[in-house]
């Protein structure tokens, strides 16, 4: 079906993308099909579809993509230990390539000439959408209304009123929020001052520490191949398991993140996140890896985690580097089986117990009691060899142990140029 005069717009139902429906029609003289994807942050898909049609969309499509999001994005990222800059579980960053895929699929099926999204021109999301589209649907044109129009928030509200677009009550919300199963991202307003403590009204999923229970809550999480499969001994489907952990973690104040983040476009931004399930699962998963992976695998995994996080964050999901790295990660998880016990208390998630049939931890080797099987005498020769180069250096270059580099030397900048 050819329908080149049609745009598929990623539609959240909020002010910006509602205004975008009309704006695209006026500016580009094209018809709009809206696509709303539920990755866990959407309550009422039907209401959003209805709003899209009322605002002038020719067709409104809604897709429940939660399971795909978990299976292809969330769980592989958990297995990879993917925390951007060591702290951000990347709920938003992981959602974008999936929405990109849905946009591409719908655009191709509908024979549309273009796709559109509501990202601004200074964030990471535009990059993630655009790069995904360039790979998945290179012949489809890209429109980013918020990057192209020069409207302030108030202009957008005026535009909406002029065109009879219902302005949502949440428009008075001072924050920009993105929400899905893996977490909630909060930006803008007073949060832009890094000195200001995030006000309580920025949070929705997590309780303030003053309001969390005074009794710790213990959880047992069972993993199979690095994937959580049971909670407190009960097998759970992944959507339910993540939902429960968001609830229990949030009740105990776990999962609040306050981060000065390095965006791809060169800006440092202050980001607030709520990701209870992601934080609990990352802690537990890492604890199980420390029981089941070798020292070398763990060292290498730290490097892999960093690269993997950068790939996701920087919008390079659909690349061969990613698929190769993902293959390594998946393979590394074949021994990550077992159960982790965590204690949630006043914003903390503390690993307090671990067990695995495939543990490399051996009590017989590590114990100091009579069950010890470790050969203590073998250590003497081992240490002689291990320390040999240190010993040689101390003898032949004793000055290297007491002196560091010449003070004041600047090894990378040449001295100022002198010329006539
Ligand atoms: N800084 C985060 C990221 O780049 C979150 C972006 C959140 N987007 C939003 N519309 N509030 O992944």
Check: CB of residue 351 under 8 Å from CB of residue 284: yes
Question: Does ligand 1 have an atom closer than 6 angstroms to the CB of 93?
Answer: yes
Q: Which of 257, 255, 256, 251 is nearest to 215 (CA)?
A: 251
Q: Which of 298, 299, 278 is nearest to 289 (CA)?
A: 298
C-beta atoms surrounding 262 within 10 Å: 13
Across the beta sheet with 183-187, what order do the strands follow?
176-180, 183-187, 268-274, 256-262
- Pairing state between β 234-235 and 59-64: unpaired
Question: Does ligand 1 have an atom closer than 6 angstroms to the CB of 12?
Answer: no
Q: What pLDDT score does 409 carry?
A: 64
3-state secondary structure labels for all residues of 32-67: EEEEEEECCCCCCHHHHHHHHHHHCCCEEEEEECHH
Record the tokens describing residue 152, joined without a space: 């302030």
Q: Which residue's CA is the nearest one to ligand 1's atom 7?
A: 185
Question: Does ligand 1 have an atom closer than 6 angstroms to the CB of 176?
Answer: yes
Question: Does ligand 1 have an atom closer than 6 angstroms to the CB of 16?
Answer: no
Ordered DSSP codes for 267-318: -EEEEEEE-HHHHHHHHHHHHHHHHHS-HHHHHHHHHHHHHHHHHHHTT--S
**292 CA to centre of ligand 1 in angstroms:** 34
Q: What pLDDT score does 405 carry?
A: 63
Query: DSSP character for 367?
Result: -
Q: Which residue's CA is the nearest one to ligand 1's atom 1?
A: 271
Question: Does ligand 1 have an atom closer than 6 angstroms to the CB of 124?
Answer: yes
Per-residue pLDDT of the chain (420 residues; tens, 9 = 90+): 788 999 999 999 999 999 999 999 999 999 999 999 999 988 899 999 999 999 999 999 999 999 999 999 999 999 999 999 999 999 999 999 999 999 999 999 999 999 999 999 999 999 999 999 999 999 999 999 999 998 888 898 899 999 999 887 676 788 999 999 999 999 999 999 999 999 999 999 999 999 999 999 999 999 999 999 999 999 999 999 999 999 999 999 999 999 999 999 999 999 999 999 999 999 999 999 999 999 999 999 999 999 999 999 999 999 999 999 999 999 999 999 999 999 999 999 999 999 999 999 999 999 999 999 999 999 999 999 999 999 999 999 988 887 766 666 667 777 889 998
Residue range 178-293+336-355 forms a domain whose CATH class is alpha beta
Question: Does ligand 1 have an atom closer than 6 angstroms to the CB of 177?
Answer: yes
**312 CA to centre of ligand 1 in angstroms:** 13
Q: What pLDDT score does 407 carry?
A: 63
Pocket residue to mutate for ligand 1, from 83, 123, 131, 270, most atoms within 8 A of Cβ:
123
Question: Does ligand 1 have an atom closer than 6 angstroms to the CB of 261?
Answer: yes
Check: CB of residue 223 under 8 Å from CB of residue 340: yes
Q: Which residue's CA is the nearest one to ligand 1's atom 8?
A: 178
Q: What pLDDT score does 154 carry?
A: 86
User: 3-172 maps to which CATH number?
Assistant: 3.40.50.620
Which H or E run contains 96?
A: helix 91-110
Q: What pLDDT score does 45 carry?
A: 95
pTM exceeding the 0.85 threshold for the entire prediction? yes
Q: Which atom of ligand 1 is nearest to the CA of 119?
A: 10
- Break the chain into its structural domains and give their ranges: 3-172, 178-293+336-355
Check: CB of residue 126 under 8 Å from CB of residue 94: no
Q: Which atom of ligand 1 is nearest to the CA of 124?
A: 4
Q: How many angstroms separate the Cα of 126 from the Cα of each of 118, 272, 351?
A: 8, 19, 37
Q: Which atom of ligand 1 is nearest to the CA of 176?
A: 11
Record the tokens describing residue 2, joined without a space: 């050819």
Q: What are the catalytic residues?
A: 16, 96, 125, 176
């Amino acid at each position: 079906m050819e329908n080149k005069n049609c745009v598929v717009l990623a539609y959240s139902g909020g002010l910006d993308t509602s205004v975008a429906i009309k704006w695209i029609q006026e500016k580009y003289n094209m018809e709009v099909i809206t696509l709303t994807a539920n990755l866990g942050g959407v309550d009422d898909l039907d209401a959003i579809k209805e709003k899209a049609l009322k605002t002038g969309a020719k067709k409104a499509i809604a897709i429940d993509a939660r399971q795909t999001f978990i299976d292809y994005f969330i769980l592989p990222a958990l297995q990879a230990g993917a925390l951007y800059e060591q702290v951000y579980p990347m709920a938003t960053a992981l959602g974008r390539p999936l929405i990109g895929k849905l946009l591409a699929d719908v655009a191709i099926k509908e024979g549309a000439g273009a796709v559109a999204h509501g990202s601004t021109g200074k964030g990471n999301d535009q990059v993630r959408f655009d790069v995904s589209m360039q790979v998945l649907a290179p012949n489809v044109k890209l429109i980013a209304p918020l990057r192209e129009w020069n409207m302030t928030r108030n202009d957008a509200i005026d535009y909406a009123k002029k065109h009879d677009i219902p302005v949502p009550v949440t428009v008075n919300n001072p924050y920009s929020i993105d929400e899905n199963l893996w977490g909630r991202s909060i930006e803008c307003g007073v949060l832009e001052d890094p000195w200001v403590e995030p006000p309580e009204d920025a949070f929705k999923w997590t309780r303030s520490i003053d309001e969390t229970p005074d009794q710790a809550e213990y959880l047992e999480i069972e993993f199979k191949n690095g994937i959580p499969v049971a909670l407190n001994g009960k097998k759970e489907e992944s959507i339910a398991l993540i939902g429960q952990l968001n609830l229990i973690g949030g009740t105990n104040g776990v999962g609040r993140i306050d981060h000065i983040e390095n965006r791809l476009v060169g800006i440092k931004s202050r980001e607030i996140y709520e990701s209870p399930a992601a934080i609990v699962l990352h802690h537990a998963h890492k604890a199980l890896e420390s029981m089941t992976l070798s020292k070398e695998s763990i060292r290498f995994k730290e490097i892999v985690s960093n690269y993997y996080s950068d790939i996701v964050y920087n919008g390079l999901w659909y690349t061969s580097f990613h698929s190769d790295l993902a293959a390594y990660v998946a393979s590394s998880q074949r021994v990550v089986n077992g159960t982790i016990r965590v204690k949630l208390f006043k914003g903390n998630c503390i690993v307090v117990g671990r067990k695995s049939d495939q543990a490399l931890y051996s009590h017989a080797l590590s114990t100091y009691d009579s069950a010890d099987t470790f050969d203590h005498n073998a250590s003497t020769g081992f240490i002689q060899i291990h320390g040999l180069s240190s010993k040689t250096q101390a003898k032949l270059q004793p000055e290297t142990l007491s002196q560091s580099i010449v003070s004041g030397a600047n090894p990378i900048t040449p001295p100022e140029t002198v010329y006539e």
